[in-house]
Amino acid sequence: MIKTTYSFVGAVLAAYTLGALFVSQGNIASVVALGFEVSVAQRLDAAVHDLLNMIDIYLALVAVSLLIGLPVAFAVVRKKPHLRMLGYVLAGFVAMVAMPVIMKQVLGLSGIAPTRSIVGLLAQGIAGGVGGYLFYRLSAPAAKR
C-alpha cells in the first residue's frame, strides 16, 4: 500500500510538472502568435511562475484525474498483466485529456487555455501518459530472486 501511494504521488507530481510546463509554453505560444517576442529568460520565468502558482487548482485536478484513471487501469491490469505498461500509460493519457473535456462540458468553460486546441489537449495527454508510465515503473513488483 505504501509503495502504491508513493507511486501515485510520483505520478501526480510528474504529470503536474509536465502539464504545467505545457500550459505555460502553450500560453506563451499564443502571445508569440500575436506578434510579440518572448525571450528564453521570459519563457523560463513564466514556467517557474506557473509551476509554483498552479498548485492550488491544477495540482488538485491532476490528482483527481489520476485518482480515477489509475485504479481503472489497475482493474484491467489485474486481469491482463501483460498490458500493465500500456494500461497505466493510457490511463494517465485519457485521464488528463478527459479532465479539460469534462470541465468544458459540465462547466461550459476551458479552465486550461491551451487545451482549446488539439495540440494543447494532446500535450496534457502526454503529461498524463508520462505520469502513468512513472506509476508503472514505481509500482512494479519486486523482481523475484
More confident residue, 120 or 127: 127
Mean pLDDT of 15-20: 94
More confident residue, 68 or 107: 68
Beta strands per DSSP E along the chain: none
The predicted structure's pLDDT at residue 130: 97
Check: pTM over 0.85? Answer yes or no: yes
The string of pLDDT tens digits covering residues 36-90 is 998 999 999 999 999 999 899 899 999 999 999 999 999 999 999 899 999 999 9
Residue 123 CB partners (closer than 8 Å, separation 6+):
19, 22, 26, 114
